[in-house]
Amino acid sequence: MFSRSFAEVAATSSSEKQEKVFGEAQVTEKFKADWKTIAPNFDMPKFPSNFMEVRPPVPSTIPAKLTVNFVLPSQYEIKAKQVDYVIVPATSGQMGVLPGHVPTIAELKPGILSVHDGTDVKQYFVSSGFAFVHANSVADIVAIEAVPLDRFDPDEIRRGVQEYTQKMNSAKDDLEKAEAQIGVEVHSALQYALGIA
Amino acid sequence: MASGSARPGSMRLAKLLYGNVNSYLSSGAAGINGGGAVWGSTTGLSSAELAPFGARSASGQIVRNRMKSVKSIQKITKAMKMVAASKLRNIQVKAENSRGLWQPFTALLGDAPATKVDKKLIVTISSDKGLCGGINSSVVKYSRALFRLNGLDGPDKDVKYVIVGEKGKAQLQRDSKKLIGMYFGETQKSSICFTQCSMMADEIIKSNEYDAIQMVYNKFNSVVSFQPTVATMLSPQLLLGDQEVTGDLDAYEIEGSDTKEEVLQNLSEFQFACTMYNAMLENATSEMGARMSAMENSTRNASDMLDRLTLTYNRSRQASITTELIEIISGAAALEG
């Protein structure tokens, strides 16, 4: 009894095509039968994939545009927008994602995310998160906080760097040191991003 | 004569009225289910049991007291409904904005509620306050069903509950006290934020060993419809090991210098926090919506009850006045004749 990942369903030719608007959870027949045995009077519960739109299948040729989804806890920042490319701040450095990029899972560090569509460039400072690039040229970026760059105050940033460097030097145990290190990392990245000394 | 017969009559009446007050009040508050049948029958004063003709203001007093209390209940439930409506507006916006948060994870890792695991955590999300209709019972029902589902596979499965919210705890404590692993209360004192959810997720992950987590919550569709939903999240070990479960996770390259294990660990923990954030917001929105409907029903029932009581009161008042008049007139007629 197994269930397959959502992205793979569309990819393999031997799978059952589910060309619906909303996805279906990979619920096996045995699960349904078991459910009937233990709870004959209740309907089956809904699953998150019931509420999610089906992703496009893997195209045979590299598409011209990349589809970007950028989500935050506070809002759905960019929803299925077709762009040329994005640059994400992965832990190994700035990573550019073009259509046809190899499927990747990248953890993000604090830095600038820029979305390029022709001449239109939108830049956000993201705190951290994950970026997934799928085989069907869909990029999902999940971040905890993202703020457009013009909302930052340079003095506050400089003060933040000094404060956290001080805390790191005077840290008494590993936990405090780790917290202070995170603060230094974020503020330095901000400093670098905004180009201030 | 009349006053003599009033006393036993009014005592019977009092017992009838006050004996039924509690059941009517509680069914009024619960509102939705089964309320209709109860309301349809009586206000406690069927015509056969009214005080006999000639009984006067003793019964009137009782009915008047009851009318006063029903009226104040009506006002209270109406106010509660408006409060719930205003809270609903705010939190609905937040919940709808957070709906994109779990989608990337489901797109990547799939949604596999049928996965067979040995250690499972069932996270039940419920409300702290009551008077919100049937949402907490439905969440608890589904949690129990999931528990039994695991039990079907064999007796050595380890399933524990993690409960968020007073009402869920109250219901699950009755028969599954030993199975409750952790409990989070008063989560809505300050408004729900991602930091709070990630701390809760952290606590749960630190203190429990698990292969899979199934989160049960009410998803908000509209003010009158909420659907119990089960979100499944797998532990990093399962993601790494079992290719059948996650499909082609291997096809994805890991960017950066971390090993695949570390990245998958972070990924699974992050998924848990994100799903929990969305689940709590959806459940809170459902709670407000359910409370609105429950209070609406309660207000309507109270006004129906008030109408009936008023009619009964007027009828008995007019009957007693008529009886007095008849006595006086017949007395006068006897004198003349």
Read off the DSSP letter of residue A130: E
pLDDT at B245: 54
pLDDT at B246: 55
Query: What six digits make up the tokens of A48?
Result: 């998150």
Chain A residues whose CB is inside 8 A of the B100 CB are 69, 71, 75-76, 79
For A10-14, A143-147, B73-77, B116-120, which range has the lowest pLDDT when averaged over its residues? A10-14
- Which helix (H) or strand (E) covers residue B314, if one does? helix B260-336
pLDDT digits (tens, 9 = 90+) for A29-79: 777 888 888 878 888 888 888 888 777 888 888 888 888 989 998 888 888
Mean pLDDT of B319-330: 95
pLDDT at B114: 75
Q: Would you say residue B29 has pLDDT above 70?
A: no
d(CA B74, CA B237): 55
CB B122 within 8 A of CB B147: yes
| Nearest beta carbon to residue B253 from set A2, A6, A102 | A102
Alpha-carbon separation of residue B252 from A7, B106, B151, B255, B268 (angstroms): 11, 15, 35, 9, 15
Interface touch B99/A76, C-beta < 8 Å = yes
CB B218 within 8 A of CB B228: yes
Of the segments A14-28, A153-167, A174-188, B297-311, which one has the largest average pLDDT value?
Answer: B297-311
List the domains of chain B with CATH numbers.
Answer: 1-24+32-50 (no CATH), 100-249+256-289 (3.40.1380.10)
Q: Residues B151, B153, B156, B160: is their CA dihedral positive or negative?
A: negative
pLDDT at B8: 53
Q: Would you say residue B160 has pLDDT above 60?
A: yes
Read off the DSSP letter of residue B178: G
Hey, is B242 helix, strand or coil?
coil
For A9-23, A47-61, A162-176, which range has the lowest pLDDT when averaged over its residues? A9-23
ipTM confidence? 0.79
Please state the φ and ψ torsions of residue B191, each to the nearest 5 degrees: -65, 150
Interface touch A73/B98, C-beta < 8 Å = yes
What is the pLDDT confidence band of residue B39, given thresholds at 50, 70 and 90?
very low
Interface touch A103/B252, C-beta < 8 Å = yes
Interface touch B247/A7, C-beta < 8 Å = yes
Q: Would you say residue B124 has pLDDT above 90?
A: yes
Is A168 buried (19+), middle (13-18) or exposed (0-12) by CB count in 10 A? Answer: middle
What is the pLDDT confidence band of residue B6, given thresholds at 50, 70 and 90?
very low
pLDDT at B235: 86
pLDDT at B13: 55
pLDDT at A15: 35
Mean pLDDT of B258-263: 81
pLDDT at A44: 82
Q: Which residue of chain B is at minimal alpha-carbon distance from A79?
A: B100
User: In terms of pLDDT, which residue wins out, A58 or B15?
Assistant: A58
Q: Would you say residue B34 has pLDDT above 60?
A: no
**Single pTM value for the model:** 0.79
pLDDT digits (tens, 9 = 90+) for B43-75: 555 544 455 555 555 578 889 999 999 999 999
- Which helix (H) or strand (E) covers residue B245, if one does? helix B243-246
Of the segments A164-168, B107-111, B296-300, which one has the largest average pLDDT value?
Answer: B296-300
Q: Would you say residue B132 has pLDDT above 90?
A: no
% of chain B residues with pLDDT over 70: 80
| Nearest beta carbon to residue A6 from set B110, B115, B254 | B110
Report yes or no: B257 at the A interface, CB cutoff 8 Å.
yes
